[in-house]
Amino acid sequence: MNPTGPLLAIQDLGIHMRTYEGRARVLNGVRLAIHEGETVALVGETGCGKSITAKAILGLLPPNAEIVSGSIAFKGRDLLRLSEEELHGIRGRQIAMIFQDPSTALNPVFTVGEQLTDVVLWQGARSATIGRRVTPEVRQRCLEILRLVRIPDPEGAFGRYPVELSGGMRQRVLIALALVGRPELLIADELGTALDVSVQDQILLELRELVRTGGLSVLYITHNLGVARLVSDRIYVMYGGEIAEMAPAAEIFRRQLHPYSQGLLAAVPRLTGTMGEGIEGRIPDYVNPPPACRFEPRCPFRMEVCRLQRPLLVEAERDRWVACHLHGSREDSGSGEESG
Amino acid sequence: MGLVEAEAVVKHFPITKGFLRRRVGEVKAVDGVNLSIKEGATLALVGESGSGKTTLARVILRLLPATSGRVSFDGREITTLDDGALRAVRQKMQIVFQNPASSLNPRRRINEIIEEPLLIHRVGTPGERRRRVGELLERVELPSQDFMFRYPHSLSGGQRQRVAIARALALDPRFIVLDEPTSALDVSVQAKIITLLRRLQRDMGLTYLVISHDLSLVRNVADVIAVMYLGRVVETAAVAALFGDPKHPYTRALLSAIPTVSDEESALIPEKITLGGEIPSPASVPSGCAFHPRCYARIEGCDRVTPELVRVGPDHHASCILYDPAHGAPGLHGGGSSGMD
């Protein structure tokens, strides 16, 4: 698809965390790629490892986390091997993050303008730049970005404190903060899910437009499958610290290959008046995870092999990857079962 | 006559200023709402934050005094009951809160949490209460031996919400308010809690008032829906009518904003409407129809005339000037469904 390779390529990422209960194997061989101009959604439920994956990309893992395997290549450079100095030049500039909660992610004691100009003036500097002189060009750049995220009266908003803004406006300011450094990759963590549905809808559609016109690539982290369907080109479903399935967004909502994806989709309440009964059991214990397939204890289709051998993520059908013994890879599909 | 009836319920909160707490305005959280919930049925209040749905539920339970209006339960007005009489009625009305992580006391064991309402209302002997707690845990599908003596922190979110439901059931209520009962849970857990709530309703003949911002969820749990906007009900109908033929411009916009997961659902959604702006503060409700500044179908007069709920179909009411015969009922055009009579 892209001759120069993906913008971001995560290979075999393994992360352990030291906890009181022992060593938690929170990520186990995660593989994920984002191509230029593409919006990818990473979906999964609480505790599946999606936020840890985002933090690993940005080098923001908590101190008790240890990377035990893998690489995260951004434009060919492995972010895990960069010095803190080099990472500083990438984080917040080439890769930016939109944080989840608009009510807590902004600093309440600085105005919107101060927080925006700080990012522009920062230029890789180590110390905060709030209080430094703001040139008319910098101010102009900030107002332009506020206008881009459709904040009415940007001049007024520039001088306001976050508390003076509504939830939707704060979310827009957070998007502006991420975009003002002109990033190539945007990571959006649960964007809009803290907002009312009519405001969420506005913001998602606006962001989709910004992404399309700006040639941005986006990694969208969400638990909301409907939101993922609305915004993304491709979807990764994560379960128990592993990628369970990957497919184009248009296809996965019609038919899911992994039993977990099937259970998850079935549990979503629908406007058609249907709603499944949910998935039995609970997420795995990361200190003592199931030995082979991590979904096996909850899986309605479990077999002998599921406890013995870890299913690898293989391309079961064209552009559709799944980690499940029910599906063989396209090459050796002799024993693999076609799903219905 | 429903089990629960609300008539012209108003709840205003004063805004005070300065040392003397001078009254400088009021928040019109609930501004004249009528509701009727049939025994054994589920009514859902839907709306965005600030629409007054939680305040209304609290006034119905008399956790908040009404500014004016009447609430009656089983034919008896409760807005004016004294504390003693209210206590007896309260046993029959319970509430399950949104976040089970904060609604359960972290220092109490599960058995103590569930027993508490029984103690407060002095029900039974210690032995009877103990048996009752065991029964209630089994009712919500938590094996009592495993859960009785645990603390809330050792439970998953879904298990905690089951404990909150068991506590609400302790006094054999007839009516339960479910305030965003699953919005803190993952979808696979939400589905299990909803299945449980439905079963309990069927087995025990419970009447539910569900508060939710999630229209897809409400589609699957409610019999009747009331859509609220800035303290007023703007549309109310049976589920099928509300989703099949939404009338109020706000309801239509809300429906069109739902992120769906299938083509079948997308087909049910009316034309795509993206609302501008956000719900204004209930401290400064716009004049006339409160929705008019955001409304894409507003006409001359919307900023002056406060619309009343008018009948737009069988058991289907909407408060919009477009449907008001007094204004010629022009209807909403371009919506594809102009089934006005």
Average pLDDT over residues B273-290: 87
* C-alpha distance from residue B290 to each of A160, A202, B231, B273 (Å): 26, 20, 9, 18
Cα angle B219-B103-B89, degrees, rounded to a multiple of 5:
75
Per residue in A175-208, pLDDT (tens digit) is 999 988 889 999 999 887 778 888 888 888 888 8
Tell whether B65 is within 8 A of chain A (Cβ): no
Is the confidence at residue A123, as pLDDT, over 80?
no
Is the confidence at residue B318, as pLDDT, over 50?
yes
User: Which residue from A202, A268, A269 is facing B274, i.e. has the nearest CB?
Assistant: A202
The distance of A93 to chain B (nearest Cα, Å) reads 30
Q: Which of residues 264-303 of B touch A (CB under 8 A)?
A: 264-265, 268-269, 274-276, 278-279
- CB–CB of B219 and A226 under 8 A? no
Tell me the pLDDT of chain A averaged across its residues.
Answer: 88
Residue A313 CB: number of other CB atoms within 10 A?
A: 19
List Cβ neighbours of A137 (8 Å cut-off, separation of 6 or more): none
pLDDT the model gives residue A198: 83
- CB–CB of B261 and A270 under 8 A? yes
pLDDT the model gives residue A121: 81
Give contacts of A202 with chain B, Cβ < 8 Å.
274-276
- Which domains does chain B possess? 4-92+173-327 (3.40.50.300)
Residue A81 CB: number of other CB atoms within 10 A?
A: 11
Q: What is the pTM of this model?
A: 0.89
Share of chain A above pLDDT 70, in %: 93
pLDDT the model gives residue A340: 35
Which chain A residue is nearest to residue B262, measuring alpha carbons? A253
Write down the ipTM of this complex.
Answer: 0.86
Band of residue B67 on the pLDDT scale cut at 50, 70, 90:
very high
* Gap between the Cα atoms of A224 and A149, Å rounded: 23
Enter the DSSP assignment of A197.
H
pLDDT the model gives residue A203: 86
Which chain B residue is nearest to residue A262, measuring alpha carbons? B188
- CB–CB of B190 and A278 under 8 A? yes
Band of residue A131 on the pLDDT scale cut at 50, 70, 90:
low
User: Which residue from A197, A270, A272 is facing B257, i.e. has the nearest CB?
Assistant: A197
Helix axes B157-169, B110-120, angle to 10 degrees: 20
Band of residue A126 on the pLDDT scale cut at 50, 70, 90:
low
Q: Which residue has the tokens 């719900």?
A: B279
* Gap between the Cα atoms of A219 and A221, Å rounded: 6
Give contacts of B275 with chain A, Cβ < 8 Å.
198, 201-202
Helix (H, G, I), strand (E, B) or coil at A88: helix
The distance of A268 to chain B (nearest Cα, Å) reads 6
